[in-house]
Structures are given as C-alpha cells and as structure tokens.
Amino acid sequence: MIYDHGLDGLPLTAVLVITDGKQRMKNLAQAVNAARQPILFSTLDVVRTQGLLAPVFNRSGEYEPVRLI
C-alpha cells in the first residue's frame, strides 16, 4: 500500500487528515490508531482560520497541536 512506503523518490513522512468536524476527526483517529506512518489530524475550520503552517495538527492520541514544518 502506498501509505506504507510512499512513492519512488518521494518518501512519505506523514498522512494529513482534514475533516469537517471534531467528532469525525476523533472517530478517524481511533480507527487508524495502529497505522505505521504518523497521521496528523485537523478540522477544516481550524485550517481555514489559522492556516496550514500554523500549529493546527494533532497526532493521534495527543492534545498538543503541531506544525507541519
């Protein structure tokens, strides 16, 4: 599966999941808890108001938001 190793010449370091609401984000975080790759979650309204480069992403099971770079 592409999520396990990335593309040739383009390694995959994380998967971004942006949902339409907090409950959906929580449900997806629980569903993919055993994933091999890091998965970062956020909601569309937070990304729209703060921007993609702000600390708006949460790792599954963590509460402190992180930046992409």
Predicted structure pTM score = 0.75
C-alpha closest to that of 60 among 7, 11, 34: 34
Cα dihedral 65→38→62→33 (10° resolution): 140
Domain ranges of the chain: 2-59
Model pLDDT, residue 68: 87
Q: Tell me: the pLDDT tens digits for 28-53?
A: 888 887 667 788 999 999 999 999 99
- For the chain, give me the number of helices (H) and strands (E)? 3, 3
